[in-house]
Amino acid sequence: MNEGTAPRSFRWWFPQVPAERLAMLRILVGAYSVVYFGVRLPYWLSFARHRAVQFQPIGVLSSLDDPLEPAVYQTLVFLTFVGSVFFLLGFGYRAVAPMFAALLLIVLTYANSWGGILHTDNLWLLHVVILALAPAADALSLDARKAPSPASPHFKYGWAIRLMCWVVVCAYFLAGLAKLKNSGWGFVEGSSLRNFVAMDNVRKIELGSPHSPLGPLFLPYPEAFQFLAVASLGLELGAPLVMLNRGAAKLWSIAMWSFHIGVLALMAILFLYPVTFIAFAPFFRTERLAGWLRRRVSKHLNGRESTLNPG
């Protein structure tokens, strides 16, 4: 099926994009996975030492009656980290990527089964799962070293990117609904947001935790919080609409990233995956980044050859 004869709905869900765009998303998400999971290895491994009475299995592990044996769980953690490296490099991708996604789901679920559910990792996990099921190693990977690079854009690379975008906008739409459920439309008045910022900073100060020095300075200005409340709720509830226009989606991504920077500034709360902007990368032509990196590497290598061979 070519783009000219395909139904419009098919072309919307399965846009023809270059293999490098999907591959660059794999590299970005894979790099985040390696660094984030690797830095937090002590945290993941710590759950092997928790008391069994604290274990309340959820999700895919809800059928467990008791915690996993420490050695079994620690093995799963190390295999997950190794899988993240293979995922990044695109090595044995068809087999390794789905296994990495499954292991990551198990480890994150296990960590959340001890009473502290970290919803901030869910978007990262869903992006990993989507990429693991897509041909994201057809370019810019170890698997593609000896294979000819796909010459033209193809719809088999576009569906995963479209789905990654939908996962992002739906996540923020649900966040907007959660605000309405907890505070109603009165949230737009800004008082709920202002109170939350105040309580969060006071709690952190009392506990000696890192807090925002900027948040308390804004508390005497309720109109600022009303603006932030209206803006955040509008961006979240209107998120699905940006899928209708590429330009709007890009502007929305920048606005949501700015929102997270604001949360970090006012409450010292870091939503790492969105703050790195990798969460919003599917809305952009990431193959341009691949081209820029390729030119930089080529320039560096040519510069080294000129230095070694001045004549």
What does each of the 311 residues of the chain score in pLDDT, given as a tens digit? Answer: 555 566 777 777 889 999 999 999 999 999 999 999 999 999 999 998 888 888 999 999 999 999 999 999 999 999 999 999 999 999 999 999 999 999 999 999 999 998 766 777 999 999 999 999 999 999 999 999 877 777 678 889 999 999 999 999 999 999 999 999 988 999 999 998 899 889 988 888 888 888 888 888 888 889 999 999 999 999 999 999 999 999 999 999 999 999 999 999 999 889 999 999 999 999 999 998 877 777 776 665 566 555 556 65
pTM of this structure: 0.90
Burial pattern 151-166, b for ≥16 Cβ within 10 A else e, equals eebbbbbbbbbbbbbb
Any idea what DSSP says for residue 210? -
In degrees and rounded to multiples of 5, residue 5 shows phi and psi of: -100, -10
Instruction: Give the per-residue pLDDT at 280.
Output: 98
Among candidate residues 87, 139, 151, the one with its CA nearest the CA of residue 286:
139
Which segments of 90-190 does DSSP mark as H helices, in order? 93-112, 122-132, 155-183
Taking the C-alpha atoms of residue 74 and residue 47, their distance in angstroms, rounded to an integer, is 9
Amino acid 306 reads S
Distances in Å between the Cα of 83 and the Cα atoms of 260, 290, 291 are 29, 23, 26
Instruction: Give the per-residue pLDDT at 33.
Output: 98
Any idea what DSSP says for residue 154? B
CB 142 within 8 Å of CB 89: yes
Taking the C-alpha atoms of residue 223 and residue 188, their distance in angstroms, rounded to an integer, is 11
CA 164 from chain centre, in angstroms, equals 9
| Residue 17 three-state SS | strand
Taking the C-alpha atoms of residue 163 and residue 64, their distance in angstroms, rounded to an integer, is 31
Structure tokens at 39: 């830095």
CB 271 within 8 Å of CB 289: no
Amino acid 231 reads A
Taking the C-alpha atoms of residue 19 and residue 32, their distance in angstroms, rounded to an integer, is 20
CB 90 within 8 Å of CB 142: yes
CB 227 within 8 Å of CB 190: yes
In degrees and rounded to multiples of 5, residue 154 shows phi and psi of: -145, 150
CA 21 from chain centre, in angstroms, equals 16
Taking the C-alpha atoms of residue 191 and residue 217, their distance in angstroms, rounded to an integer, is 16
Any idea what DSSP says for residue 281? G
Taking the C-alpha atoms of residue 140 and residue 90, their distance in angstroms, rounded to an integer, is 8
Q: How many CB atoms lie within 10 A of CB 88?
A: 21
